Structure 1
Amino acid sequence: MTSPMPVLVRTAEDLAPVLARVSAGALLIGLDFDGTLSPIVDRPQDARLDTGMQHRLGQLSALVPTAVVSGRDLDVLHALVPVAGLTLVGSHGLEMSHPDGTVERADGLDRSDADLSALVKRLHCATASLQGVLVEPKRHSVAVHWRMAALSEQTAAERVVLDAAREAASFKVVTGKMVAELRPAIERDKGGAIALLRAAAVVDGKSPTVLYIGDDVTDEDAFQTLDPARDVGILVASSPRPSAAGLACS
C-alpha cells in the first residue's frame, strides 16, 4: 500500500495543536539519530551530536521518557549520545539500553553473528575496486554506503549487496539513504522497539501517546506502528515524499 504525503509543518504555530494533543496525557518520545538529531555526513564515523542538542536531550529526558532509536551499534550510540536518562535503541531495534543500565537483545542473534565475519570479508573483497563505496561492519550487521560514489559505482555496490544476500540466508537487506544494510533476518525493527517501549510504559491499563521523529526509510517501520488517532509521526525531509508519518518538516 502506498503511503500518503505527510502534511508539511512550516512554523512552530503549525505544531501547536499537535503539541497540545500529545501533552494531554502520558507521552513517549522516539528520535532517530542520523539526519534527525545529527546531520547526515559522508562517513558514519564523522557524525557528532553538538553540545546544544545534548543539553536539550537531557532536559527532555528529565521530563518525558525519551528514546534515541538508531541503526548504529548500541556501543557506538552510547559514545555518540552521552546523555543520562535516555533509552538507547541500537541496531534498528535489535538491542536496547535502558536508563537504569539494563540491556536487552533480541533472541536469535547467535546464528547471524556466527556468519557475520565471513559476510563482512566478502563485501570488502567485492567492493575493493569501487571508488567511494564504504563497508561499515557493525556488531550484528554490516552496511554498505555509497554516498561518495559515482552513479555507476552506486549501481555496482547495490548488486554486490543483493548477491551477498542471496548467499547469506540468516540476513536480509534493508535499504536507506545511499546505503544498504545486511541485517539479521529477525522480526525486530524500529517499530518493534517502539511497540516494546510503549507496552512497558502502560500504567493502569493506559499506554502513552507516542511522538516519533525520523528521516530515513527505516523510520517508516516506527511510523507504521503509530495510531493516527492519538500518536504523532514527523518525517524530517528536505523534499516531500510519501510517508506513514502524518507530518513532515525540513
Structure 2
Amino acid sequence: MHQISIYSFRMDGKKSKDDVFRQAVERYCRKNGFGSPEDSAWEVLKTEKGKPFFVNQPDRYLSVTDSGRTRMIALGGCPVGIDLQLPETRGGGGRTREEQCRFLAGRWFHPEESRWIAGAEEFKEDNTPYTRRIPRPDSAESFGKDGSSGVADRFFQVWTGKEAYVKYTGAGIDENFSRFSVLDPALPAVLSWFIVRAEDRQGREKDALLCVCTEEEAEIWLEPAESCKSEKGH
C-alpha cells in the first residue's frame, strides 16, 4: 500500500513557499531513507492547468493546499490531490450562512451534491473499493464543532472533496466541475476526510477540513506541524 505524508506549515511571513517546500522534501527524504535531497533532483514544474509534478522523480507525487495562514504539502508514491478549507463561508447578498452555502452549491456543484447539502437526500455508503468516507454532521467527529450547521458541514465536505479530486486528476476547476459528484460510488478515486487544526488569516487556530484524494486506498500520515516548524536554518 502506498504512503502519503502530509506536512503542515504556518505561513507567518518568515518563510517563503520555496522554504517550506524544501523543508517538506527534506523531512520526506529522511523519513523514507532517500538521503539528503539535492534541489535539482526534486525540481517541480506545473502542467498547463497548474498540476505540480516532479521533473526527475517519476515515482513521487505531490499536491499543495492553502487556507488562511496554513499551507499543507502532500508527498507520496502515488498520485494525490489534497484540499484544506477553514469554515469561513459567511452570509452575503442578504443571505444567511446556510442560504449562501445552498446558493454556492446550486451554482458550482452537481445536483446530487446540492440536494445532499440541503438535507433533501440521504447519502448511502457502499462496499465498493471507492467508498466515500464522509464525517457525518451528527457524529462525534463532526466538522464544525463550533456550532456550524449541518448544511455548512456538508457544503465543506463536498467542496474539499471536489477540489481534491480535480487536483488529483489535474483537470482543475473547469466547465466539468459541476458535472461529477463526489457522492457517486462510481467515481474512480478514494476520498478521505480529516479534521485538522489550521490558522486563519488573523492567526486564530480553528478546526479545518482536509480531504485527500488517491486512486486506491493509501496510508495517510499527517505529520505534526510543531516538528515541521521547529527545524531552523532551512
Q: Same fold (TM over 0.5)?
A: no
TM-score, length-scaled by structure 2: 0.29
Q: Which structure shows the bigger proportion of residues in helix conformation? A: 1
Which structure ranks higher in relative contact order (CA pairs < 8 Å, sequence separation ≥ 6)? 2
TM-score, length-scaled by structure 1: 0.28
